[in-house]
């Protein structure tokens, strides 16, 4: 079975960047970033909750201290 464009991208192969799945992922990641940036006046607990929601686990946020765009894009936000 042929790889999807997202699978090709994640494997470091050449891929079509305007593939509908990748475009949707990028839009979801941009929306999450906008929501997180607007949370500047939120409490640290509220901001942490946003990070936990996108990472799927509090431990991932604690370990890395940051999240990649790929992680945000692949997560239902």
More confident call, 8 vs 65: 8
Q: For the whole model, what pTM was predicted? A: 0.62
Cα–Cα distance between 39 and 2 in angstroms, integer? Answer: 41
Residue 31 has what pLDDT? 92
The set of residues, in sequence order, having a beta carbon less than 8 Å from that of 60 and lying 6+ positions away, is 67
| CA–CA distances in Å: residue 33 to residues 3, 14, 29, 41, 69 | 28, 26, 6, 15, 9
- pLDDT per residue as tens digits for the range 14-57: 999 999 999 999 999 999 889 888 888 888 888 888 888 888 77
The counts of H helices and E strands in the chain are: 5, 0
More confident call, 7 vs 76: 7
Domain ranges of the chain: 5-73
């Amino acid at each position: 079975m042929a790889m999807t464009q997202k699978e090709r991208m994640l494997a470091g192969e050449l891929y079509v960047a305007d593939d509908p799945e990748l475009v949707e992922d990028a839009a979801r990641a941009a929306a999450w970033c906008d929501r997180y940036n607007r949370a500047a006046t939120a409490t640290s607990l509220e901001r942490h909750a946003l990070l936990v929601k996108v990472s799927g686990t509090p431990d991932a946020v604690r370990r890395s201290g940051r999240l990649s765009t790929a992680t945000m894009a692949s997560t239902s936000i």
